[in-house]
Amino acid sequence: MSDDRMKIILRAVQEIHDGMYVNLGIGMPTMIASYIPEDIQVMLQSENGLLGIGPYPVQGEEDPDLINAGKETITAMQGAVYFDSADSFAMIRGGHVDLAILGGMEVAENGDLANYMIPGKMVKGMGGAMDLVSGAKRIVVIMEHVNKFGESKVKSVCTLPLTGKRVVNRLITDLAVFDFNENGMILVALQPDATLADVAAKTEAAYSVSPLLKV
C-alpha cells in the first residue's frame, strides 16, 4: 500500500468509535477493518448479509463461504449474525447504521458524491452506495486528492454520475480533511507533511479554512 493511502486509512480509523455499527465500502475503506483498535467494540455490517465482520483471514484459513460485498474473503467475529440482502438493506434504509465510510471518484464543494461509475466503462451495478448515502447516519468519504492525471477530485461540481446529492459529512484525502455544512466546505485538518499551499494548488472546489485547523 502506498504511503498516501496509508495516511488516509489511519486518519479514517479515527472516525470509528466504541459501540458503532459501521459499513465499510468496497476497496480502500475495507482495509480500515484491519486497523481498528482492539480496545473498542465495533460491529461491521456488510450489505451482502453479515453483521460482525472480523479482520482478513490468515493465509491457509480462508473460508470461501465468508465474503464481504467486495467478494473478498473475511472472518466473522464471535456473535456475528447472517441474514439475507433484504434484511441488510432494511437495516441501512432504516437508519440503523451509524457510519458509512465509502470511496469516492469525485466530491463537490456542496457535498455531492460520485463514486459508482465512469461513463464508457463497464459497471456491474451501483451496489449499495445509494442506499448507504441516504440511510446511514454519517457519511465519510475517503479518496486520493488528485487522479492519475494530476487533476483534482475535489470539484466545484461533480462531472461523473452522482451517487447522492449533498450527502457527504466529511472528506478525508491524502492531503486534508474537509467537513461540509450549510456554509459549504471547510478545511479542518491537514495530513502529515501537507501544507495549505499544497491543498490550494490541488483543490478545484471553493472552501474556507477553519480557525481551529489541526495538523
The three-class DSSP label of residue 143 is: coil
Which residue reads 451495478 in cell numbers?
125
Q: Which among 15, 38, 47, 109 is annotated as catalytic? A: 47
Provide φ and ψ at 60, rounded to 5°: 95, -10
Can 106 be counted among the known catalytic residues? no
Gap between the Cα atoms of 175 and 144, Å rounded: 8
The three-state (H, E, C) secondary structure of 99-153, written as one string: EEEEECCEEECCCCEECCCCCCCCCCCCCCHHHHHHHCCCEEEECCCECCCCCEC
The three-class DSSP label of residue 151 is: coil
Catalytic center residues: 47
